Amino acid sequence: MNVSRILPATVLALGLALASADVLAAITARIATSLPDSHPQTLGARKFAELLTEQSHGEIEVQVFGNGVLGNDVNLASMLQAGTLEFNVPSTATLASLNPDFSVISLPFQFDDAAQVDTVLDGPAGRALLDSLADKGIVGLDYWDNGFRHITNSRHPVETADDIDGLKIRTMQNELYIDMFNGLGANAIPMPVNELFTALETRTVDGQENPFTVIDSKRFYEVQRYLSQTGHAYDAQVLIASKRFIDSLSTEQQQLVRDVSREATLYQRQVSRELNDTLLTRLQDQMSINEVSLEERQVMRERLMPVIEKHRAEISEATLSAFDAALAESR
């Protein structure tokens, strides 16, 4: 027997076996979004995936599925709870179906600007909301930016509160948003965002409400003539993880997920806000844009007081007190 030939072959086989074991040992995770690759939600997801794969030295490999290919936000949140999806970035309006206290973020005309948003959501009030998801099988990591929401429609500019009367407006599948637009005199029609373009094109609905980034990335300007800057509500998204997945990681890996989450969050917020600022100029070439006056926005807020009071009554006293105090302190 030629031992000199056997040994190299044995070493090679052992090396291949060890390499295979390393591959098998890698943890594969998925992060899914409902918006296109050009939207800051998916750009943030790609950054998170890139950072976690890189900083774990390949121990955790994250794949990104954007544009709703795995389902809408409601479907994705359910998958995450069931442990069949590892990460997702739904709107707080979606999370309100799991904990009504998340509606506090979406209350109309509540935040003044992005700086105030970050102060409140990154503080104890926002952190407590994220922690409330634990008993739902979800780990809340960080708040991402989707921006202030504005109205588009195909019929006429919205310059006054009365101009909303009778418009068929698509809203998220969320009771607060449905009540908000019904309260303004519109006919609110809830549906997933990935069904919206066709509904606008066929005039099943007259309009919709979203930040500039969604209006642009979903190309709503192709089927909508008027964009009215109402800024009626702020929309945050939340980077969430499956608790089952997080619990399967080592203590060091769990901390790495949180560290990477924060790094990706700062990137995502910057990208989102810079894009929202520049998109207004770009959209002016595509749509007729008007800014709603502070006086008319106040009229809208006054009309919505019954809606605001109704939904504040559904939010826990502890959350309301924490947010009211944080908002007052940030002004």
Quote the radius of gyration of the chain (alpha carbons, Å): 23
* Per-residue confidence (pLDDT) for residue 5, from 0 to 100: 52
Contacting residues for 302 by C-beta, under 8 A, at least 6 apart: none
Estimate the crossing angle of helix 175-183 against helix 305-312, to 10 degrees: 160
Q: What is the DSSP pairing of strand 87-88 with strand 234-242? A: antiparallel
Does the structure show a pLDDT above 60 at 229? yes
Looking from the CA of 184 toward its CB, the CA atoms found within 13 Å total 28
- When pLDDT is cut at 50, 70 and 90, the band that residue 26 belongs to is confident
pLDDT in tens, 136-160: 999 999 999 999 999 999 999 999 9
Q: For residue 272, report the phi and psi dihedrals to the nearest 5 degrees.
A: -60, -45
Rounded to the nearest integer, the mean pLDDT of the chain is 92
Please report which confidence band the pLDDT of residue 277 belongs to, taking 50, 70 and 90 as the band edges.
Answer: confident
Query: In which residue are the tokens 């909301």 written?
Result: 129
Q: Which two tokens stand for residue 150?
A: 């504005």
Please identify which residue in the block is written with the tokens 């006086």.
295
Q: Are 90 and 45 spatial neighbours (Cβ–Cβ below 8 Å)?
A: no
Q: Rounded to an integer, what distance in angstroms lies between the CA atom of residue 89 and that of residue 73?
A: 8
Quote the percentage of the chain above a pLDDT of 70.
Answer: 92
- d(C-alpha 12, C-alpha 264), whole Å: 40
**Does 223 score more than 90 pLDDT?**
yes
Average pLDDT for 267-276: 95
**What average pLDDT does this structure show over 197-226?**
96
User: How far, in Å, CA of 253 to CA of 56, rounded?
Assistant: 8
249-264: per-residue pLDDT in tens? 999 999 999 999 999 9
Over residues 73-111, the pLDDT tens digits come to 889 999 999 999 999 999 998 899 999 999 999 999 999
pLDDT value of position 331: 85
168 forms bridges with which residues in the sheet?
187
Q: What are phi and psi of 141, to 5 degrees?
A: -100, -60
